[in-house]
Amino acid sequence: QRVTQPEKLLSVFKGAPVELKCNYSYSGSPELFWYVQYSRQRLQLLLRHISRESIKGFTADLNKGETSFHLKKPFAQEEDSAMYYCALCPQGGSEKLVFGKGTKLTVNP
Amino acid sequence: KAGVTQTPRYLIKTRGQQVTLSCSPISGHRSVSWYQQTPGQGLQFLFEYFSETQRNKGNFPGRFSGRQFSNSRSEMNVSTLELGDSALYLCASQGQGLTEAFFGQGTRLTVV
């Protein structure tokens, strides 16, 4: 079980599209999540793949063939600046979350 | 409904000392997990408790231990502190069957 976020830092300009990459390795069918940590706030769930929701303009599609769960937003806002963590929960619900090392997103004005 | 509460928020300890951190989960949640967060390593899983039993354990030395009480509150203990133990320690609780983790604000431990 491993989650890889290849970019430690990502910087974009306001209004530009943003994509935070996440790849995972797991032999079963995991649940995938994106968590976000804004400055001086607690880590919180942004979205989960089973919900298929768009939260704050972000979407993430689970690609089982490529074992990826990239987070995307068409037009970045300054308030999106934060640390983003991709996480995996193994099939069977053992409640243990495996996190990637995180990507720090900075949206410049 | 109250969120996950961690105490204390900040701690400064000296090398060689030991420390105990506390976590109160969301009411009704029986699973409590602990994570160490550092700038270099990100979030690293320490251990998870469910109904007073350790169910999962990460790759940390035996100096790191924990326990869970019958009311689901959990404590984490680190003995013989080292400078490298300086980190933000996060606790998360999960309801049964719900894989979303709710995090506390963390305890910032500084070892000098």
- Give which of B5, B72, B99, B107 to mutate to test A binding, by max A Cβ within 10 Å: B99
Predicted local distance difference test score (pLDDT) of residue B36: 96
Name beta bridge partners: A32.
A88
Task: Give dist(CA A32, CA A88) in Å, integer.
Answer: 5
Instruction: Residue window 64-103, chain A: list those with CB within 8 Å of chain B.
Output: 85, 89, 93-102
Answer whether B54 touches A (CB < 8 Å). Answer: no
pLDDT digits (tens, 9 = 90+) for B14-72: 999 999 999 999 999 999 999 999 988 888 999 999 999 998 888 899 999 999 999 99
Predicted local distance difference test score (pLDDT) of residue B81: 97
DSSP 8-state symbol, A55: B
Predicted local distance difference test score (pLDDT) of residue A92: 58
| pLDDT band, very low/low/confident/very high, at A18 (cuts 50, 70, 90) | very high
Tokens of B93: 């609780």
The amino acid at A61 = D
Predicted local distance difference test score (pLDDT) of residue B98: 66
pLDDT, mean of residues A15-22: 97
Task: Give dist(CA B104, CA B3) in Å, integer.
Answer: 7
pLDDT digits (tens, 9 = 90+) for A49-100: 877 788 899 999 888 889 999 999 999 999 999 999 999 987 655 557 889 9
Predicted local distance difference test score (pLDDT) of residue B102: 92
User: Which residues from chain A sit within 8 angstroms of residue B31, using beta carbons?
Assistant: 95
Task: Give dist(CA A89, CA A62) in Å, integer.
Answer: 13
A58 in Cβ contact with A72 (< 8 Å) = yes
Answer whether A46 touches B (CB < 8 Å). Answer: no
Task: Give dist(CA A71, CA B99) in Å, integer.
Answer: 19
- Tell me whether residues A89 and B103 touch, CB distance under 8 A: no
Distances (CA, A) of A3 to A9, A88, A98, B24, B101: 16, 7, 7, 28, 17
Predicted local distance difference test score (pLDDT) of residue A97: 82
Answer whether A60 touches B (CB < 8 Å). Answer: no
Give chain B's largest Cα–Cα span. 41
- Tell me whether residues A96 and B99 touch, CB distance under 8 A: no
Predicted local distance difference test score (pLDDT) of residue A43: 93
Mean per-residue pLDDT of chain A: 90
Question: In this model, does residue B101 exceed pLDDT 80?
Answer: yes
